[in-house]
């Protein structure tokens, strides 16, 4: 795929320094295989997954496998580079222009709270071309419009290849709504994360 | 939406303050932007500036606009472990006071205030308790005073209540009425719903417990500090403060004035 070559030429900290990943059904497993490859001290990584109410703390579940510290966001937490930030269950996750996180208990969007669209829109608004958005597997069309906003604000957008997705509805909706910069499998995304992290380690 | 929109939003907030004395100037911008975008759609305004001119021409629109700006979606007994902690760790201590006074700021339609009233009744404290429930939205206060919740929401409320260490069935505390489930008059008469702004008003009573959950997330840091300063003033010696599960005093100027009681459910106590 030619897209991967183009994408591999991009670098966190240079072409973008904020990564936001959204997903629903199947995304937990996908992230479990991707996150260990991601180790980048200049990168703010944000993860928005739908999950059942009263669900377990996601940061806690990823802590043991991730290559970066994992944090469940609390209100007004600064988005400092070098960590993965998870949207807490039952709240929308937004970003303020001063680089701190904000939460809301406004009505669910696309029957979801957190809603991926809400976080994608907010991050696009604040980070613009500094942002890379990734939409994974899911049984909903949440995230598709938000991904389009990221692209419209100059960000880079990647969608999980529908044939690689446990539930292709979410990536398919995103592809239908806009042309992503890349349509990649989880294995390709993991390689990409690994390549970026290798660069970061060599630079360090 | 661009930074220009933020300027227009500030203009609109200045109008709301200047003309109507509603002060949203220190609300957190990320949520405001989203709420005002929803309001734009609702009023068919293609920009914030258009919304602003419309408000100038039709001041009555304020009532519905306030709903966009203030109403959050709450539940009775939201986060049951919080209410369980109130039941087991706070109320036994508050029971030593001859009279209990509790403040629920930003009460919206009253879900939290009624939950606390039920809790107090179950713990045998309702008769000597009084709850001040405050908000800036008159329509929300009217809904709260009416004490009627849609029947469809009661299943969720009941499930939450059961997990909070319930000693009774939630249905013991309401009955069917036109429009939904009507909370018992004996609960309603222990709650005073009134207008109060954390942005512009001051303290009105001394209380032993303040339960203010998922209200501060809508404020910027200076306004959070102001509200928490009011809470500190209002709380009696060693009084309790409960925040939302994902709210924290960590990034505020009041962090040193409170100590953790239960970190997991954001229950704090005023330092001596």
Q: Would residue A121 count as lying in a domain?
A: yes
* All structural domains of chain B with their residue ranges: 3-69, 80-270
Buried residues in B23-55 as b, exposed as e (16+ CB within 10 A): bbebbbbbbbbbbbbebbeebebeebbebbeeb
How far apart are alpha carbons B54 and B171 in whole angstroms? 45
- For A26, the domain range is 18-198
How many alpha carbons fall within 13 Å on the CB side of residue B8? 17
| Domains held by chain A: number | 1
Q: Would residue A49 count as lying in a domain?
A: yes
pTM of the model: 0.94
User: Burial level of B94, CB count in 10 A (0-12/13-18/19+)?
Assistant: buried
Q: Would residue A4 count as lying in a domain?
A: no
CATH classification at residue A64: 3.40.50.180
Q: Would residue A8 count as lying in a domain?
A: no
In B, minimum Cα distance to A128 occurs at: B2
Q: Is any Cβ of chain B less than 8 angstroms from the Cβ of A108?
A: yes
How far apart are alpha carbons B117 and B183 in whole angstroms? 10
What does the block give as tokens for B250? 């960590």
Which residue's structure tokens are 């183009």? A6
Q: Is any Cβ of chain A less than 8 angstroms from the Cβ of B33?
A: yes
Q: Would residue A11 count as lying in a domain?
A: no
Q: Are B30 and A107 inside 8 Å of each other by CB?
A: no
Q: Is any Cβ of chain B less than 8 angstroms from the Cβ of A104?
A: yes
What distances in angstroms separate CA B89 from CA A175, B119, B124, B248, one per listed residue? Answer: 52, 13, 15, 19
How far apart are alpha carbons A112 and B215 in whole angstroms? 20
Q: Is any Cβ of chain B less than 8 angstroms from the Cβ of A127?
A: no
Query: Contact A156/A10 with Cβ under 8 angstroms?
Result: yes
The architecture CATH gives domain B80-270: 3-Layer(aba) Sandwich (3.40)
ipTM over 0.90: yes
How far apart are alpha carbons A153 and B270 in whole angstroms? 45
Please report, in tens digits, the pLDDT of each residue of chain A (204 residues total). 456 777 878 888 888 899 999 999 999 999 999 999 999 999 999 999 997 545 678 899 899 999 899 999 999 999 999 999 999 999 999 999 999 999 999 999 999 999 999 999 999 999 999 999 999 999 999 999 999 999 999 999 999 999 999 999 999 999 999 889 999 999 999 999 998 887 776 665
Q: Are B214 and A97 inside 8 Å of each other by CB?
A: no
How many alpha carbons fall within 13 Å on the CB side of residue B211? 27
Neighbours of B8 (CB within 10 A): 18
Give B82 or A198, the one with higher predicted confidence: B82
What does the block give as tokens for B122? 């179950």
In A, minimum Cα distance to B246 occurs at: A74
């Amino acid at each position: 795929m030619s897209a991967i070559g183009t994408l591999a030429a991009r670098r966190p900290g240079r072409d973008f320094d904020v990564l936001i990943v959204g997903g629903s059904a199947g995304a937990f497993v996908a992230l479990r295989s991707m996150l260990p490859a991601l180790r980048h001290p200049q990168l703010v990584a944000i993860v928005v997954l739908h999950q059942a109410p009263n669900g377990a703390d996601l940061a806690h579940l990823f802590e043991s496998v991730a290559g970066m510290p994992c944090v469940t966001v609390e209100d007004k937490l600064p988005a400092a580079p070098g960590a993965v930030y998870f949207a807490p269950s039952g709240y929308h996750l937004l970003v303020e222009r001063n680089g701190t996180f904000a939460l809301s208990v406004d009505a669910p969007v696309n029957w979801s709270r957190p809603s991926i669209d809400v976080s994608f829109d907010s991050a696009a608004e604040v980070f613009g071309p500094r942002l890379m958005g990734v939409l994974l597997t899911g049984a909903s069309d949440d995230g598709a419009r938000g991904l389009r906003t990221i692209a419209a604000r100059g960000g880079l957008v990647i969608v999980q290849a529908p044939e690689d997705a446990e539930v292709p509805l979410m990536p398919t909706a995103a592809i239908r709504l806009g042309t992503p910069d890349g349509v990649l499998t989880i294995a390709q995304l993991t390689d990409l994360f690994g390549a970026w992290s290798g660069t970061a380690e060599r630079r360090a | 939406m661009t930074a220009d929109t933020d300027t227009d939003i500030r203009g609109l907030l200045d109008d709301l303050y200047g003309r109507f004395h509603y002060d949203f100037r220190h609300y957190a911008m990320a949520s405001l932007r989203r709420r005002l975008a929803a309001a734009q759609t609702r009023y068919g305004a293609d920009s914030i500036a258009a919304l602003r001119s419309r408000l100038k021409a039709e001041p009555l629109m304020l009532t519905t606009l306030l709903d966009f700006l203030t109403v959050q979606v709450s539940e009775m007994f939201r986060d049951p472990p919080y209410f369980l902690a109130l039941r087991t760790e706070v109320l036994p201590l508050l029971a030593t006071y001859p009279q209990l006074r509790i403040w629920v700021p930003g009460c919206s339609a009253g879900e939290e205030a009624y939950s606390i009233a039920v809790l107090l009744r179950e713990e045998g404290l309702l008769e000597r308790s009084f709850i001040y429930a405050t908000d800036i939205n008159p329509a929300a206060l009217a809904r709260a005073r009416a004490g009627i919740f849609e029947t469809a929401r009661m299943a969720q409320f009941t499930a939450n209540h059961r997990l909070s260490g319930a000693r009774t069935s939630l249905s013991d505390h309401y009955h069917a009425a036109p429009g939904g489930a009507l909370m018992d008059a004996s609960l309603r008469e222990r709650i005073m719903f009134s207008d109060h702004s954390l942005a512009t008003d001051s303290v009105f009573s001394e209380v032993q417990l303040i339960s203010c959950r998922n209200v501060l997330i809508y404020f910027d840091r200076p306004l959070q500090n102001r509200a928490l300063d009011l809470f500190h003033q209002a709380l009696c010696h060693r009084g309790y403060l409960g925040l939302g599960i994902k709210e924290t005093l960590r990034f505020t100027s009041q962090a040193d004035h409170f100590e953790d009681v239960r970190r997991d459910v954001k229950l704090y106590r005023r330092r001596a």
